[in-house]
A and B are shown apart, each in its own frame.
Chain A
Amino acid sequence: KAGVTQTPRYLIKTRGQQVTLSCSPISGHRSVSWYQQTPGQGLQFLFEYFSETQRNKGNFPGRFSGRQFSNSRSEMNVSTLELGDSALYLCASSLEAPGQANTEAFFGQGTRLTVV
């Protein structure tokens, strides 16, 4: 079956612009999480959605937002981009609900965002 699909793979934006990233989870998975990965900070949790509801949120400013649709596809949006937002943004889908510790995550290839 198809894996987690993230689009676009690469993106270059200018400071102050906004960006929307898309994630299609594995068919049947209702839980989608987003992570930011930078060389200095590693994988940082952004937010998690389950059945169209945000269940958990990481320590990121309000410029970072997301949503999940009824088909479990998810988008994340970053407004007023800053240079420090340059990173690999990863989406992961899971079969079971948030809080279930034995749930493995399936990651997409990521979107490489460069802010200039």
Chain B
Amino acid sequence: SQKIEQNSEALNIQEGKTATLTCNYTNYSPAYLQWYRQDPGRGPVFLLLIRENEKEKRKERLKVTFDTTLKQSLFHITASQPADSATYLCAHRGRRALTFGSGTRLQVQP
């Protein structure tokens, strides 16, 4: 079955830098990948969706890429701010449900 893997548990960067988070999938290329943000004790919030045939998607300071050759999606936050500190989850909707990776906890230092 499809597995979604976010290999980095945590990422610490300085304010103003670009944060890059990685999401890898193991089997078939999912038609879509979704990215969510989750703050402690709260439910995930949808950020972006990228289709298999889209190489890149942008929303304000966020950018997502989808590389079917590498079986990977990258999530970038440019000009990062301390308020961007949160856990970021990638997900794909398989046959049964929306399946999430384990998440990467981003900490932006002022």
Contacts and interface: CB of A to CB of B under 8 A. Distances in A.
A28 interface: no
Nearest to A3: B43
Q: Which 5 pairs across A and B sit closest by C-beta, in order of nearness?
A: A107-B43, A45-B97, A43-B100, A101-B93, A104-B46
Given A56-B96, A104-B34, 5 more contacts: A35-B100, A43-B89, A56-B95, A98-B97, A102-B51
Given A109-B42, A110-B41, A42 B103 contact: yes
A81 interface: no
A116 B96 CA distance: 32
8 contacts: A42-B101, A42-B103, A56-B96, A99-B95, A101-B31, A105-B44, A108-B43, A109-B43
A84 B93 CA distance: 27
- Interface size grouping (class) on chain B: 20 to 34
B99 A110 contact: no
B101 A107 contact: no
Contacts of A57: 96
Contacts of B42: 109-110
A105 B98 contact: yes
B43 A110 contact: yes
A21 to B, nearest CB: 13
Given A100-B93, A101-B31, A101-B32, A33 B98 contact: yes
A33 B13 CA distance: 34
B50 to A, nearest CB: 10
A105 B46 contact: yes
Interface string B76-107: 00000000000001001101111111110000
A104 B89 contact: no
Interface in A90-116: 90, 92, 98-110, 112
